[in-house]
Every structure is written in structure tokens, then in C-alpha cells.
């Protein structure tokens, strides 16, 4: 105890002796250095505080300056110079070398990067064709004029977490994909009602092709009987015989107006009847959507006087719907293909449909 106190007193007297020999400039630099160190130690986050590069540089400059003023005799200043390790200096040097060879404008070596267009095309081919492997996708890209090697295709699909062909094939296809493959052979039919000006209910029977969204208006009547519905089916079967309407499946609901005779007419043409579940309008969604389109764009915009008036209105609307109206489900194309208007043609004109309820725009001949 006595010797430790004596050693501390001796150290204090030696420090006082050194302070008496130091200049005012060295004392000011030491005070500045101590203030910087105190500000760093007073930080609360993180604990212990970490020095930034600029703080380390400032402490190193002050320490070197103070050492030179003291003539190198101040022994405590030697420990202040250990601001970073030798590994840190080597790491800084490697960082400088890396920046030297990666500056903007440096010539890149190796295989050029794959463009975003090619990457998107590879992902599209893999998603749309689950049975295609890397080699099959590579062959398709070569056919399209893209010089991409098989290993690049593999790396791109792995980075995007797309499994190989066997794993993608095991997942199978969903109902959307299944129906898309058979939609050009599926026809749906349904009834909807229209109230006339004098509150008389008229029933409308229509057929719609799921593949082309082409609508066939069967007829309108105020008294839909099983015999009347069967007769409309016979009229439509003539188009199936002529090949004007490809039909392999017919979707209908469980309405009693669709009798056995109605089904027999289509079965004689090799058409299979598919009945929707009870109270499930979504099972016949394409037909239900067309009913909504006909009401919003046509029937809700005018008053229907009688059955004859309704027939004329629907016939005109069906012609417009099949030949001139773009459809979202067909990528903004019309159900009946036609020659697109020339964008470099004449002036744009408007044709009124149903007395102006619908406007059809077209280009005049140049």
C-alpha cells in the first residue's frame, strides 16, 4: 500500500517536471487530442464506441504532431499511435487496388452480361413450358437468334428460384391452363331476362364460344318452353355441321328448359354436355360476363318496347360485339378477326351504333 502511493506520487512529480519543460503549443495540441478522445468515449451507441476513418486520421495527425513537439521523449504517446492494426492497413490497400481496376471506363474482361430482354425471355419460356429443360430452352433461343449457352440458362433459372423441368412438371397444370387448352372447343349457353317498357319479361337465349368470345344470338321469347329451346338448338347444330362453329363441349346450367331433346340434338353432333353445379354462376363465368357487358353497354342505355324491338337491338349489338369491339380476354382484339385500321390512313371518323348509345371509331380510306 505504501509503495503504491509512493510510486504514484513519484509519477506525479515527474509529470509536473515534464510539463514545466513543454511549450504552450504542445500543451494546446495535447488538450485538443484529449478532447477528441473524450468526445469519442462519451458516445452511448455503440458500446464500446467505434472510430470512423476520419476520426482515426485526425487522432493520428494530432498524435504525430504532439510527438514531434515533445521531441519523442513522451513515452505515453507511443500507445496513442495504435489506432488501427496491420491487417486494417492491408485491407485498406486491397480496397485501393480494387478501386483502381474497377473505375468507370475500365475494359471488362470475360463473358458479357446477359441482357434483361434475354433473361425475361428465358423465364417466360420456363414458365409457359414446364416440360422444357435447359437444353430445350437453349435450342429455342438459338432458333430465335440468341447466342446464350446452356450454363447461362441454368444459372439464371436458379437465381430466380425456378426449379428444373422434372420438378416443374410434377406441379401439373391448374384449371386455368387446362381450360385454355380446350377453350376453342367449348361453347357455353345461358338465359337472361329483359324487362320491357310495359314491364313484360322477355327471355333471351344465347351461345358464346369460349375461345373466340364470339356470340350467337339464338332468339327472344316471352314464353320459353322446352320445345322452343330444342328448336333453337337445331338451328345452331347446322353451324356445327358446316364447321362454322367448332364445338366439343357445351356448358349449361340445370334449368328445366334445357330438356332431354336439347341435349340429344348436341349429342348427335358429338358434343358432350357439361352441366354446372346448382347456384354456381361462376362455373359459367364467360356467359355471365357477356350478359353484364350487354346490359351495361346496350340494354341499360335504352327502353325496350317489345320482343321485336329487343331482337333488333340485340342483333345490332351482337354484330358490333363480334366484329368491332375490342375484348380484354383476347388482348384487345375482336372476336371476329378483321384487318386493322392503317395508322397512317385517313382521318378518324365515328359511327353511331344503336342511335348513338355506342360509338365505333374507324379510319377513313386515305
Break the chain into its structural domains and give their ranges.
21-84, 116-170, 181-337
DSSP state of 245: S
The CA dihedral of 123, 127, 133, 139, to the nearest 10 degrees, is -60
Rg (CA), the chain: 42
The CATH architecture to which 181-337 belongs is 2-Layer Sandwich (3.30)
The two beta strands, 272-275 and 249-252, are: parallel
Residue where the block lists cell 355506342: 358
Residue-by-residue DSSP string for 244-288: SS--SEEEE---TTS-HHHHHHHHTTTPEEEEPPTT-GGGGHHHH
Strand partners, 190: 206
Integer Cα distance of 234 and 241 in angstroms: 11
User: What is the chain's pLDDT, residue by residue, as a tens digit (366 residues)?
Assistant: 666 656 666 665 566 556 556 666 776 777 777 777 777 777 666 666 666 766 776 777 777 666 666 655 444 444 444 556 778 778 878 888 888 776 555 566 667 788 889 899 998 988 888 888 888 898 888 888 888 888 898 999 988 888 887 777 666 566 666 667 777 889 999 999 999 999 999 999 999 998 889 999 999 999 999 999 999 999 988 888 877 778 889 999 999 999 999 999 999 988 999 999 988 888 899 999 999 999 999 999 899 999 999 999 999 999 999 988 888 777 788 887 766 666 666 788 888 888 888 888 877 776
Amino acid at each position: 500500500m505504501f509503495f503504491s502511493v509512493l510510486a504514484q506520487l513519484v509519477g506525479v512529480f515527474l509529470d509536473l517536471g515534464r510539463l514545466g519543460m513543454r511549450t504552450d503549443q504542445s500543451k494546446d495540441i495535447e488538450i485538443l487530442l484529449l478532447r477528441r478522445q473524450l468526445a469519442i468515449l462519451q458516445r452511448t451507441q455503440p458500446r464500446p464506441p467505434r472510430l470512423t476513418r476520419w476520426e482515426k486520421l485526425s487522432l493520428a495527425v494530432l498524435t504525430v504532431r504532439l510527438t514531434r513537439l515533445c521531441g519523442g521523449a513522451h513515452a505515453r504517446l507511443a500507445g496513442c499511435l495504435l489506432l488501427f492494426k496491420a491487417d486494417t492497413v492491408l485491407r485498406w490497400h486491397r480496397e485501393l487496388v480494387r478501386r483502381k481496376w474497377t473505375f468507370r471506363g475500365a475494359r471488362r474482361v470475360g463473358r458479357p452480361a446477359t441482357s434483361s430482354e434475354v433473361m425475361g425471355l428465358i423465364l417466360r419460356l420456363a414458365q409457359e413450358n414446364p416440360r422444357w429443360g435447359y437444353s430445350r430452352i437453349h435450342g429455342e433461343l438459338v432458333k430465335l437468334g440468341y447466342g446464350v449457352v446452356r450454363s447461362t440458362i441454368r444459372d439464371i433459372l436458379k437465381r430466380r428460384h425456378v426449379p428444373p423441368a422434372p420438378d416443374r412438371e410434377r406441379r401439373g397444370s391448374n384449371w386455368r391452363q387446362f381450360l385454355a387448352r380446350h377453350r376453342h372447343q367449348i361453347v357455353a349457353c345461358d338465359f337472361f331476362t329483359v324487362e320491357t317498357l310495359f314491364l313484360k319479361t322477355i327471355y333471351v337465349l344465347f351461345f358464346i364460344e369460349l375461345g373466340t368470345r364470339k356470340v350467337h344470338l339464338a332468339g327472344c321469347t316471352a314464353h320459353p318452353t322446352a320445345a322452343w329451346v330444342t328448336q333453337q338448338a337445331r338451328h345452331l347444330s347446322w353451324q356445327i355441321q358446316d364447321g362454322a362453329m367448332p364445338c366439343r363441349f357445351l356448358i349449361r346450367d340445370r334449368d328445366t328448359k334445357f330438356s332431354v331433346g336439347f341435349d340429344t340434338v348436341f349429342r348427335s353432333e358429338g358434343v358432350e354436355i357439361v352441366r354446372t353445379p346448382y347456384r354456381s354462376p361462376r362455373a359459367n363465368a364467360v356467359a355471365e360476363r357477356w350478359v353484364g357487358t350487354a346490359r351495361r353497354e346496350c340494354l341499360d342505355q335504352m327502353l325496350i318496347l317489345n320482343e321485336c324491338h329487343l331482337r333488333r337491338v340485340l342483333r345490332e349489338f351482337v354484330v358490333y360485339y363480334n366484329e368491332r369491339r375490342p375484348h380484354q380476354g383476347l388482348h384487345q382484339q375482336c372476336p371476329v378477326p378483321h384487318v386493322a385500321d392503317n395508322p397512317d390512313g385517313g382521318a378518324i371518323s365515328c359511327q353511331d351504333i344503336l342511335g348513338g348509345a355506342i360509338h365505333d371509331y374507324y379510319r377513313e380510306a386515305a
